[in-house]
Amino acid sequence: MMILENEIDDAVLVILSALHADSVDEDNHRGEPGLSLAKLSKRTELRMSTLLRHLTALDDARIVSVVNNDDGTGRAALTPYGMAIFDALDESQSADMA
């Protein structure tokens, strides 16, 4: 996927972090899970084309679920598998800092 020499692309980490933060912020959800692609682009400071490229790969790997609407809008959310991966990465980074 986007892993080189056991390093994960910084953009992927930023995307996963933003989606994880959104998933634990229950007050933020108004009926639909995940973040709008526009909001995710703004939070991650990634251009939409870059964001969509990464989201496509993450969706293919079943780490993220992406829903695209006919009007060009869409939403992205971590899957349960993606949550487990994020938690494992977070634990790994915490262990590295200790």
90 within some domain: yes
The DSSP element (H or E) to which 68 belongs, if any, is strand 64-68
Non-local (6+) Cβ contacts of 82 within 8 A are: 16, 19, 58, 62, 63, 64
**Torsions phi, psi of 79, nearest 5?**
-85, 170
pLDDT in tens, 50-88: 999 999 999 999 999 999 989 989 999 999 999 998 888
In a domain, residue 1? The reply is no
Cα radius of gyration rounded to whole Å, the chain: 13
| Residue reference for tokens 């939070």 | 43
| pLDDT over 60 (residue 6) | no
Q: Considering the domain boundaries, does residue 2 fall inside one?
A: no
Q: What is the DSSP letter of 72?
A: S
The model carries a pTM of 0.80
What does the pLDDT read at residue 5?
Answer: 43
Q: Output DSSP code: residue 6.
A: T
In a domain, 23, yes or no: yes
- The enclosing domain of 27 has a CATH number of 1.10.10.10
Tell me whether residue 46 is in a domain. yes
* Tally of domains within the chain: 1
pLDDT value of position 4: 42
Domain with 66, as residue range(s), is 9-97
Of 14, 8, 81, the C-alpha closest to 51 is: 14
